[in-house]
Amino acid sequence: MAQKGDLMTVRGDIRVLDATIRDGGLVNDFMFTDDFINALYRANVKAGVDIMEFGYKASKEMFDVNKFGKWKFCDEESIRGIVGDNNSDMKISVMADVGRCDYKKDIIPKSESVIDFVRVATYVYQMPAAIEMIEDAKAKGYEVTCNIMAISNAQEGDVSQALEMLGHSSVDGIYIVDSYGSLFPEQMRRLADLYLETGEKYGKFIGVHGHNNQQLAFANTIEAAAQGVSFLDATMMGMGRGCGNCAMELLLSFLKNPKYNVFPVLKFIEEHMLPLRAQGVNWGYDIPYLLTGHLNQHPSAAIEFMKAGRSDYTDFYTDLLDK
């Protein structure tokens, strides 16, 4: 597939989504202050960010509300406490994981909600359940995406079948998700072409969500965009689970559309992200995340390694090789 656009042109179809609360919340159990969330909302609006994701719609039966901040659950009143009626051009999204939410009761009709997007996160093998969730959210009036996680670990035939199933569904968009940070730009290019073929056939937009295990989240994001992927995820200062994600400040500095303004992002980082890190909230590239990404493994082992304060990288590497 030919490259879409170039470094000097504006792509009108590009949409930038801020996932700082949702993916970053996996770092600190969603324990953000209201001041932090208010400032992030205002910064995103000023920066021209198209969509802001507030967190998960997780089940309160499965997850203890006393162990997590409120953005693990994203109650309507919590979001409205920040955005009111959201009198801005920026849309609001939440994520709902297959098997981890009570979507039939916790996702209320769009007519009663300030939320615009529901992003259904699923593994390939959960596709029938994901489509049931998609149709429920669409019937309630939302725009809906399907984020297929851990795509680097899925069989190509299974991915192709999942894309066909989604093509026949009422989903609006489909996301490439490099959960393990294992993909290289050449692989991302091929996946983007595969997803875009389905998108063009069935009228779905395609998005990308990268992880930075091999310091390639930004590279993979702009590689996917060059192929025609239009919805691009990023987080402030790359904050996200483990190694983190594509950095918002990098992405907005790259995009040529004058609607995007990196200055409010830099101000937010200076005033809120740096203090957060100074408090001991840690994320970002490190050797253990490189190793799990290199070996195409879930980062959970690296996260535990980091929490234990270990630095015996060679032992960790040989342990991973035995898995």
Per-residue model confidence as pLDDT tens for the chain (323 residues): 678 877 788 999 999 999 999 999 999 999 999 999 999 999 999 999 999 999 999 999 999 999 999 999 999 999 999 999 999 999 999 999 999 999 999 999 999 999 999 999 999 999 999 999 999 999 999 999 999 999 999 999 999 999 999 999 999 999 999 999 999 999 999 999 999 999 999 999 999 999 999 999 999 999 999 999 999 999 999 999 999 999 999 999 999 999 999 999 999 999 999 999 999 999 999 999 999 999 999 999 999 999 999 999 999 999 999 98
Q: HSE (CB half, 13 Å, CA atoms) of 130? A: 26
Query: Length of the chain in residues, anyone?
Result: 323
The 3-state DSSP composition of the chain as helix, strand, coil percent (nearest 5) reads 45, 15, 40
> Quick one: tokens of 40?
């992030």
* Per-residue exposure over 201-214, b if at least 16 CB sit within 10 Å of its own CB, e if not: eeebbbbbbbbbbb
